Amino acid sequence: MGRSEVWSDCVTGKDAKRGTDEKIMKQLHGLLDAADIIAGHNVNGFDMKHVNTRFLKYGYSPIVNKKTLDTLTIARSRFKLFSNKLDFIEQWLGYPGKDKIVNADWLQVLKGNEETLKKVLKYNKGDVIHGKEVLKDFQPWSGKRSNYGAKTGVYVVDTRKSEGKSKVK
């Protein structure tokens, strides 16, 4: 938080065809292990469970004792929105909302289609950028200090529906 940079990576078409995301998971493990706080929308109910499943597959140690800041939890506990989906919240707050990704795109990812992988990477970056805006808007309602209690920085990670990752420091 507090920076505009978005760091990202994505599986290669070759890795997508082979169904391997080990390179990405190694990088993500290092990032999450170094983070003081892991923030995201449904990070507790979705993201960390999927990430932990991949870590188990590749024999990485579990990421434990990390504070999380989940904008879905804040939305459900503090507000009565028409929808708690991140895309709805983004647009309701005046942000552009998510890029459109359809099931056919995910099938193309599995085939290693490089253009579709670029589209998914762009989608993930946008998710992080706008998710950070939601997090900033929700922060006063979270009951957390303005630095979220982090010692060195806050990392926002989004792995939804992709073997790639986007991250913001």
User: What whole-number distance in Å separates Cα of residue 152 and Cα of residue 111?
Assistant: 39
pLDDT, mean over the chain: 85
Contact in structure between 109 and 120 (CB atoms under 8 Å): yes
What's the structural domain count of the chain? 1
Residue 55 domain flag: yes
Residue 165 domain flag: no
Residue 2 domain flag: no
The tens digit of pLDDT for each residue in 7-20 reads 788 889 999 999 89
pLDDT of residue 4: 76
Contact in structure between 10 and 24 (CB atoms under 8 Å): yes
The tens digit of pLDDT for each residue in 126-167 reads 888 888 999 999 988 888 766 655 565 544 444 444 444 444
Residue 163 domain flag: no
**Residues 6+ positions from 77 with CB-CB distance below 8 Å:** none
The tens digit of pLDDT for each residue in 35-81 reads 888 999 999 999 999 999 999 999 999 998 888 899 999 999 999 99
In this prediction the pTM is 0.79
The residue range of the domain holding 58 is 7-157
The tens digit of pLDDT for each residue in 42-52 reads 999 999 999 99
Cα Dmax for the chain: 45
CATH of the domain at 54: 3.30.420.10
Which of 161, 159, 169 minimizes the C-alpha distance to 47? 159
